[in-house]
Amino acid sequence: MIRIGKLTDYGIVVMTHLARDPAQAVMAASDLAQATSLGPSTVAKLLKVLLRAGLLVSHRGIRGGYSLSRPAEEISVGQIIGAIEGPVVMTECGGQPANKCSMRHVCTAQSHWHRIDDVVREALESLKLEELARPLRLRKAGALQRQPGDQQPADRRRSKRP
Amino acid sequence: MIRIGKLTDYGIVVMTHLARDPAQAVMAASDLAQATSLGPSTVAKLLKVLLRAGLLVSHRGIRGGYSLSRPAEEISVGQIIGAIEGPVVMTECGGQPANKCSMRHVCTAQSHWHRIDDVVREALESLKLEELARPLRLRKAGALQRQPGDQQPADRRRSKRP
DNA sequence: CCTATACAGTACTAAATAGGTCCTGTTTAG
DNA sequence: CTAAACAGGACCTATTTAGTACTGTATAGG
Ligand code: FES
Ligand code: FES
């Protein structure tokens, strides 16, 4: 599989949404959540991670929200993935040289993995957020209602509310 | 992380061991397990998977075991990974066009992911088992370009439980 | 023919990770 | 002062992965 996690894909989606905004306006987490039909909590968590990685800037207070810290051309999907999942490596041999890897005694692929990782990293780095944000310009503006077959996280707000 | 699973790494190790044998001799699963210091059951399972994928041939009976089905130059790490983990894709958008992906409504990265996947797949396909099996002590000083402040993502606390 | 050996297939449990929710602060425009 | 919205966690749950076991079946060699 060699997969990236769902969260990371969400991250791409959210970042793309931000990047598409013409005026780089500040957007609140809840707005973003609604726009992407993802769970508000999930989006909030995500945004915090992206903020910490320096990909976003936040504005606190009543009219607060998030916006990109840099132009979309200077943000790569590699950076987004890196922010959410950690360094882009495929094996235990990640980052560190061959002293940390638990199977270095028996595996002869160390240097090769590093090479593979490099290729992947480069491919990911070369794809910029701007490129993702460009093509879609839906004229259909208000289709944010609940979509039946769509992904709707378990809504368990069953607090005992009098 | 974009990681391959441990099993897959084991698979590479086991295959490399097979490939290193000068006479392509048949090796029993238990021997392989001992040689790699992996669990016998784990190795046995792994070998079955690799067999099914056509990368190995098996020899049953009292002097049985496994050997490569093809010369090591014709087996790529991509094939090994594919055998154990399934198709090499990074997102839900794997293989199938954009009908199966659960977030196609909101994500604009479909085609881009396919491109990335292609690059990774190609890199993995170009690295042959023979190349892994060949060098025993390839010590090349300074061959790897390490980036000191490479990524600075959410720091994953890997609790080390002995 | 008989039997020990080693593969074939599958079922199962345990551990690890990822996904998702919630709560308790802090900051700040109005 | 207050409400909106971020900051930073703690927390639980679901899914995936890793690892093991067990019951067959084929076959070389005595
Ligand atoms: S993965 Fe680190 S030695 Fe093979
Ligand atoms: S991953 Fe399939 S649409 Fe983005």
User: Would you call B160 an interface residue with chain A, using a CB distance cutoff of 8 Å?
Assistant: no
Q: Is the CB of A130 under 6 A from ligand 2?
A: no
**A99 pLDDT band (50/70/90 cuts)?**
low
Q: Which nucleotides of C are covered by protein (CB under 7 A)?
A: 4-11, 16-23, 26-30
Return the structure tokens found at A93. 């041999």
User: Residue written as tokens 């983990």?
Assistant: B85
* Side chain identity at residue A21, one-letter code: D
Is pLDDT at A128 greater than 80 in this prediction?
A: yes
Judged by CB atoms closer than 8 Å, whether chains meet at B133 and A108 is answered as: yes
Average pLDDT in the A93-105 region? 68
In a domain, B153, yes or no: no
Q: Which of A83-87, B125-129, B147-151 has the lowest mean pLDDT?
A: B147-151
Task: With CA atoms as reference, report the closest residue to A80 among A148, A34, A132.
Answer: A132
In a domain, A141, yes or no: no
In a domain, B44, yes or no: yes
Who wins on pLDDT, A112 or B76? Answer: B76
With a CB cutoff of 8 Å and minimum separation 6, the contacts of B59 are B26, B65, B66, B67
Is pLDDT at B111 greater than 50 in this prediction?
A: yes
**Nearest chain B Cα distance for residue A15, angstroms:** 10
Q: Which of A1-10, A103-112, A152-161, B81-90 has the lowest mean pLDDT?
A: A152-161
Is pLDDT at B16 greater than 90 in this prediction?
A: yes
In a domain, A101, yes or no: yes
In a domain, B18, yes or no: yes
Look at residue A113 in the predicted model and tell me its pLDDT. 87
Interface residues 46-75 of A with strand D (CB < 7 Å): 47-48, 51-52, 58-66
Look at residue A129 in the predicted model and tell me its pLDDT. 93
Q: Contact B126/A115 with Cβ under 8 angstroms? A: no
Average pLDDT in the B111-134 region? 89
Look at residue A154 in the predicted model and tell me its pLDDT. 35
Average pLDDT in the B109-128 region? 88
User: Would you call A140 an interface residue with chain B, using a CB distance cutoff of 8 Å?
Assistant: no
| Nearest atom (ligand 1) to Cα of A104 | 3
Q: What's the pLDDT tens digit per position in A20-72? A: 988 888 999 999 999 999 999 999 999 999 999 999 999 999 999 999 999 99
In a domain, B26, yes or no: yes
Judged by CB atoms closer than 8 Å, whether chains meet at A2 and B85 is answered as: yes
User: Would you call A131 an interface residue with chain B, using a CB distance cutoff of 8 Å?
Assistant: yes
Q: Contact A30/A107 with Cβ under 8 angstroms? A: no
pTM: 0.81
Return the structure tokens found at A90. 């495929």
Residue B58 contacts strand C, CB under 7 A = yes
Is pLDDT at B30 greater than 60 in this prediction?
A: yes
Q: What are phi and psi of B16, to 5 degrees?
A: -60, -40
Nearest CB neighbour to A12, from listed B109, B140, B153: B109
**B100 pLDDT band (50/70/90 cuts)?**
low
Average pLDDT, chain A: 80
User: Would you call A51 an interface residue with chain B, using a CB distance cutoff of 8 Å?
Assistant: no
Judged by CB atoms closer than 8 Å, whether chains meet at B9 and A123 is answered as: no
CA of A60 to the centre of ligand 2 (A): 31
Q: Can you give the residue range of the structural domain that contains A62?
A: 6-135
Average pLDDT in the B107-119 region? 85
Strand partners, A57: A67
Half-sphere exposure (Cβ direction) of B94: Cα atoms closer than 13 Å: 15
In a domain, B130, yes or no: yes
Burial class (CB in 10 A: 0-12, 13-18, 19+), B91: buried
Judged by CB atoms closer than 8 Å, whether chains meet at B108 and A135 is answered as: yes
Average pLDDT in the A77-93 region? 91
From chain A, pick out residues whose CB is under 8 angstroms from the CB of B36.
Answer: 106
Look at residue B24 in the predicted model and tell me its pLDDT. 84
d(CA B87, CA B34): 30
Packing angle between helix A40-52 and helix A77-85, nearest 10 degrees? 110
Question: Which CATH number characterizes residue A42's domain?
Answer: 1.10.10.10
Average pLDDT in the A145-151 region? 35
Kindly report the three-state secondary structure assignment for every residue of chain A: CCCCCHHHHHHHHHHHHHHHCCCCCCECHHHHHHHHCCCHHHHHHHHHHHHHCCCEEEECCCCCEEEECCCHHHCEHHHHHHHHHCCCCCCCCCCCCCCCCCCCCCCCCHHHHHHHHHHHHHHHHHCEHHHHHCCCCCCCCCCCCCCCCCCCCCCCCCCCCC
Is pLDDT at B115 greater than 50 in this prediction?
A: yes
Look at residue B98 in the predicted model and tell me its pLDDT. 54
Q: What is the DSSP string of B44-79?
A: HHHHHHHHHTTSEEEE-STT-EEEESS-GGG-BHHH
Number of domains in chain A: 1
User: Would you call A37 an interface residue with chain B, using a CB distance cutoff of 8 Å?
Assistant: yes
From chain B, pick out residues whose CB is under 8 angstroms from the CB of A89.
Answer: 1-3
In a domain, A124, yes or no: yes
